[in-house]
A and B are shown apart, each in its own frame.
Chain A
Amino acid sequence: MTDAIISIRNITKRFGQVVAVDNISFDIPTNEFFALLGPSGCGKTTLLRMISGLENPTEGAIILDGVDTTGIPPNRRPVNMVFQSYAVFPHMNVLENVGYGLKVVGTPKSEIETRARDALQKVQLPELAERMPDQLSGGQRQRVALARALVKEPKVLLLDEPLSALDAKLREQMRLELANLQASVGITFIIVTHDQDEALSMADRIAVMDSGRVSQIATPEELYESPKTRFVADFIGKVNLLDGTVGSAGGKQITINVDGVGQLKVPLEGDAPSGEVAVAIRPEKLKLSSRKPAGDDVKIQGKVVNLAYYGNASHVFLETDSGLPMTANVQNDTRDFEGAIDVGDKTWISWRPDDALVLTE
């Protein structure tokens, strides 16, 4: 990629014997909203801190806007960070906090005031400029941290779990606001999160990380609909995974032998795999019916083991006749769903062959 604002090249970070980040390489283009997603301890925060300069990579280099950042301390990198704890300085008021990053590099006083107030406008906090941090709510403090970073006009803005400390309602609202803010300021955002919804709803592209490695980098739709590995399929949303072995491959289809289920036809993209694989089907793609469905759909028989009601949808926990657990998401699009299906009911489980996916890793 030629217009990459940031280029991660073979980055490895070891803490003693522990490998936190294991030989990662990828590029992020200008003006992208990029998410590093993964469970805790997967190395995503370490990677973010290496971009900021607060940690140094053991091996590899980070190229920022064409400049190798190796050896450049954090205070001389054109990147700024919004910390998980916000780290809003408690002994300065909001305006002083936002202006701090300009003051320390010798920006004239009058300019600091104008730019700081501008930044507060961007995060919709202009009226709180004189408040002290202990008079602010968590959400407001976060906006101060955002304004404080944005006022520096960084080439890349780093956000470390920015929404984790907010309550659910506010979090949803901030997701939208962050996405809008990113679009309006035109700065590359890199956000670290363990929350898949957060990443899916905000980011242009997501890197899913697992044990210090990147499992897949893709758009939210690609990650959800075409995960490359079991880990990604399982981490992003819920998935039914059926273990099997590759039977025959022909044309654009492949047959997978799943124990107790039989042969499943799955569409094939690219080269035919061989050996042990898994068939992945999202729960909302399963259809349940009491009578055997007609047509080419894959159909297996099972029974309802448990039900979980979520208002707009219900999770139906199933067990196939051969004993495999499966989960279906059923939209409660009529008001009498609960009466229509019950624990213990025999049911046909079916899905379109195109909705299943073969995972080799």
Chain B
Amino acid sequence: MESWKTNRFVFWVMSLPGTFWLLVFFLVPMSLVWIMSFGEKTGILTIDITWTLENYIRSTETVYLEIIWKSVWVSALATIACLLIAYPIAFAISFAPNRWKPWLLLAVILPFWINLLIRTYALIAVFRTRGFVNFSLEWLWDGANSILNFVGLGQFQLLGERFEALPLLYNNGAVIAGIVYVFMPFMVLPLYANIEKLDKSYLEASLDLGASHVRTFWSIVVPLTMPGIISGIILVFIPALGSFLIPDLLGGTNAQMIGNVIERQFKAANDWPFGSALSFLLMYATFGALALRAVLSREGGGMNA
């Protein structure tokens, strides 16, 4: 009997649904948006495709470049924060007893099963002026103050006259915190997969050869888990760069990202060609980054994920 792997007919039938999906729901819409980015708005509802570059030229105006640049560094900071938090988590899960692992992984994925909107609103409840963080801080302030009063230092007002709520919401910090919270699983999972398959005898060999734990981490663990680190960075950075819901809800007016600008073009401003051009500008940058990564990993001796 002919193996199904070598049977062309079976091959085509099996690849049909995937091809259909990619074609109809990805390539065709993307092409439409791409074509539209060369269009001109001629009326409220009409767009002419004139193959003008006007939209791209407009999108390189300082105001847009600034917001793109800000989106890049906000996403970069969030990605770095994600990596720093996720690495110890992935490491701990990988070294946890086997019967705990599924539960710990579940705990990482669980928030993911809850609607993004609900999770983001929940963060508002945490960060706002009368939110849970400030409540906790106020409680600590009260406690500390009563101790000071108790020991007779109350009259000096060492902690200020009254509790000042921290402005935690509607700034870049809130946006970064939101991105870190939402995209954390994307960082933990590739890292975990990589650390898990890392042969632990490499670590033992390093210790045995006289390296400290810290040295072993930097010289052995980090280089050998680099594929997971790079995958995690890409999986977090790219969607973070395009996020608009998180900056919209947590960022306020001063912490807008490029995603919000694009969204406005399609909705409030009703300028689809310009929105398309901005989208594709972001897309070109993403493709560029991925290509760079592919080149780098090829030079790195075939250590790609």
Which residues of A are at the interface with B, using a C-beta cutoff of 8 A? 52-54, 73-76, 80-81, 83-85, 87, 89-91, 100-101, 104-105, 132, 145, 148-149, 152
Nearest-neighbour CB distance to chain A for B147, whole angstroms, equals 41
Contacts of B223 in A (CB 8 A): 91
Contact B210 A87 (CB under 8 A): no
Contact B212 A75 (CB under 8 A): yes
Instruction: With A100-B211, A132-B301, A149-B209 given, name 15 new contacts (CB 8 A).
Output: A53-B208, A54-B204, A54-B207, A74-B208, A75-B212, A81-B208, A83-B205, A85-B199, A87-B199, A87-B204, A89-B202, A100-B206, A101-B209, A101-B210, A148-B209
Q: CB of B224 within 8 A of chain A?
A: yes
Contact B210 A83 (CB under 8 A): no
Bound Cα distance from A91 to B224, whole angstroms: 7
Q: CB of B52 within 8 A of chain A?
A: no
Which residues of B are at the interface with A, using a C-beta cutoff of 8 A? 199, 201-202, 204-212, 215, 219-220, 223-224, 301, 303
Contact A87 B201 (CB under 8 A): yes
Nearest-neighbour CB distance to chain B for A52, whole angstroms, equals 6
Contacts of B206 in A (CB 8 A): 89, 100, 104
Name the prevailing secondary structure of the A interface residues. Answer: loop
Contact A104 B201 (CB under 8 A): no
Contacts of A80 in B (CB 8 A): 208-209
Which A residue's beta carbon lies closest to that of B224? Answer: A91
Among B210, B220, B301, B303, point to the contact of A152 (Cβ < 8 A).
Answer: B210
Bound Cα distance from A75 to B199, whole angstroms: 19
Nearest-neighbour CB distance to chain A for B52, whole angstroms, equals 50
Nearest-neighbour CB distance to chain B for A45, whole angstroms, equals 12
Among B199, B204, B219, point to the contact of A104 (Cβ < 8 A).
Answer: B219
Sample 25 A-B pairs with CB under 8 A, ordered by A number.
A53-B207, A54-B204, A75-B207, A75-B209, A75-B212, A80-B209, A83-B201, A83-B205, A84-B201, A85-B199, A87-B202, A87-B204, A89-B202, A89-B206, A89-B220, A91-B224, A100-B209, A100-B219, A101-B211, A104-B206, A104-B210, A104-B211, A148-B205, A149-B208, A149-B209
Bound Cα distance from A104 to B224, whole angstroms: 17
Contacts of A76 in B (CB 8 A): 210
Bound Cα distance from A318 to B212, whole angstroms: 60
Contacts of B210 in A (CB 8 A): 75-76, 101, 104-105, 152
Contacts of A83 in B (CB 8 A): 201, 204-205
Contact A91 B209 (CB under 8 A): no
Bound Cα distance from A53 to B204, whole angstroms: 10
Contacts of A148 in B (CB 8 A): 205, 209
Name the prevailing secondary structure of the B interface residues. Answer: helix
Contacts of B207 in A (CB 8 A): 53-54, 73-75
Bound Cα distance from A359 to B11, whole angstroms: 68
Q: Known: A83-B201, A89-B202. Is A104-B208 also a contact (CB below 8 A)?
A: no
Contacts of B303 in A (CB 8 A): 91
Contacts of A54 in B (CB 8 A): 204, 207-208
Contact B301 A81 (CB under 8 A): no
Among B199, B205, B224, point to the contact of A81 (Cβ < 8 A).
Answer: B205
Bound Cα distance from A172 to B207, whole angstroms: 30
Among A53, A85, A132, point to the contact of B201 (Cβ < 8 A).
Answer: A85
Contacts of A91 in B (CB 8 A): 223-224, 301, 303
Q: Which of A54, A75, A148, A152 is most buried by chain B, counting CB atoms within 10 A of its CB?
A: A75
Which B residue's beta carbon lies closest to that of A145? Answer: B205
Which A residue's beta carbon lies closest to that of B303? Answer: A91
Contacts of A52 in B (CB 8 A): 208
Among B211, B215, B219, B224, point to the contact of A90 (Cβ < 8 A).
Answer: B224
Bound Cα distance from A54 to B301, whole angstroms: 31
Contacts of B211 in A (CB 8 A): 75, 100-101, 104
Contacts of B220 in A (CB 8 A): 89
Which A residue's beta carbon lies closest to that of B222? Answer: A91
Contact B208 A75 (CB under 8 A): yes
